[in-house]
Amino acid sequence: MRHYTQFYIDGQWVDPIAPRTAQVVNPATEEVSGTISLGSAADVDKAVAAARRAFATFGETSAKERLELLEAILAEYQKREAELGEAVSEEMGAPMSLACGFHTLLGKGHLSTAIEVLKDFKFEEQRGVTLIRKEPIGVCGLITPWNWPMNQTCVKIFPALAAGCTMILKPPQLAPYSAQILAEILHDAGVPAGVFNMVQGKGSEIGTALSTHADVDMISFTGSEAVGVQIQKDAAETVKRVGLELGGKSAWIVLDDASLAANVAAATGGMMGNSGQTCSAGSRLLVPNARMDEAIAAATEAANGVTVGDPRGNFAMGPVVSKSQYEIIQGYIEKGIAEGARLIAGGPGKPEGLDKGYYVRPTVFVGTNDMVIAREEIFGPVLVIIGYDDVDHAVEIANDSNFGLGGYVSGEDLDAARAVSRRMRTGAIWVNGGFDFHAPFGGYKRSGNGREWGEHGFAEYLETKAVIGWNAA
């Protein structure tokens, strides 16, 4: 059992001002795995005050000093990487191979990338008589989700530190363990008091307190569209910057060529990764109508081949994060059936033999783009196959969405795939796979604003100052 009942404020582990606790449930067993404290607005006030005091000094540090700090953090992160993976698996149900693999690799990758970018980042540039300075924005409120705990926490913390900002982290209530360990890593690495602070608790309380706080200069939020809208409203009173990475309903376009079956299988398996709990997941699979039967056969075989079970076993997919998330996903599966979508794999209920734990069957429908299951983010292992007549039709379907976070194009003709990618209205597109920590990540439309990852992620935490007359003509 884990008991994390203190917050990290001003370089110390401190008790909540008004003690309240909540239990954390292991989604694989439905049993309580630990306890955390729930913070209040008073705890946020204390953390913000510490961050504001620390900014006066930390905001003036050199890039070299911050680089040394990030390198010290990397050394501590590597020491506890396996421990972080175990925490991720326990808190949100990822298989150990994934939790101790890609989950923790993402956190380390964002840290290493921040180090790489900071080494060559130009905080000052002279143009004619004017000096253009990039300066830290100040005190930042970082609000993160549960689905990729290390990725979405580290992609905020480390660029903010590199820029010279101070911060208050509000981790997800459903997945609080890995954030606690990360805070210990930062402390052990020597992050100055007040630069990093962490308050656990409910988003409706801690998130609101940060978003409305007059001494918070910027909010970076990853999560649902509804909460992102509310944060923008709350932040408007103090005109603070708000960076949002919200939901998605990404299209995966499979082009008509000899690799269609293999690409359909890869897209289906990819959708089921992390139990479908990925904002950029390719949850709408677009295939040529003329080859629909072939696509259905490939998708059915791939989905049925996804093994589901105990995260500590040799399974590809674990449970979803909570009972409420399980019920939401079941509701969408039932709605797909009621809408008349053709169910070709999975379906309602839990996989055979898994009566305990929030396990969902890898599910694939064949449907149309106007169905609810093709319009709304399900955030579970549910894929919708949609047919298209030609490439123009595929692009039209892909762009017919309120979201625009991710996109995928698979095809043997690279020029054709590139041409399709240019026409898709979405923030990040993977052409035949690939991965890049320096690629900017963020959304069009209701998927949010701003960009994270790499050099573009630094911009989120910097203000631009023009000093005119710096160099007299």
Rounded alpha-carbon distances, angstroms, from residue 460 to 66, 222, 402: 17, 13, 24
Residue 465, strand partner residues: 133
301 flagged as catalytic:
no
Q: What's the CA angle centered on 168, arms 152 and 102, to 5 degrees?
A: 20
What gap in Å lies between CA 375 and CA 394, rounded to an integer? 16
DSSP state of 441: B
The backbone torsions φ and ψ at residue 268, rounded to the nearest 5 degrees and listed phi first, read -65, -50
Let me know how long the chain is. Answer: 473
Cβ neighbors of 284 (< 8 A, separation 6 or more) are 249, 250, 251, 252, 369, 374, 384, 386, 397, 398, 401
For 345, the token pair is 């794999």
CA angle, residues 165, 170, 176, in degrees to nearest 5: 130
Residue type, position 127, single letter: R
CA distance 21 to 11: 22
| The two structure tokens encoding residue 17 | 């001002």
Q: Which of 245, 377, 452, 460 is catalytic?
A: 245
Say if CB 461 and CB 419 are below 8 A apart: no
- Please give the helix or strand (H or E) that residue 382 lies within, else none: strand 382-388
Residue 247 contacts residue 224 (beta carbons within 8 Å): yes
- Alpha-carbon separation of residue 454 from 59, 91, 154 (angstroms): 20, 28, 12
Q: Report yes or no: 235 and 219 within 8 Å, Cβ to Cβ.
A: yes
| 222: helix, strand or coil | strand
Residue 59 phi/psi, 5° resolution?
Answer: -65, -15
What distance in Å separates the CA atoms of residue 335 and residue 337, rounded to the nearest whole number?
5
Which amino acids are annotated catalytic?
245
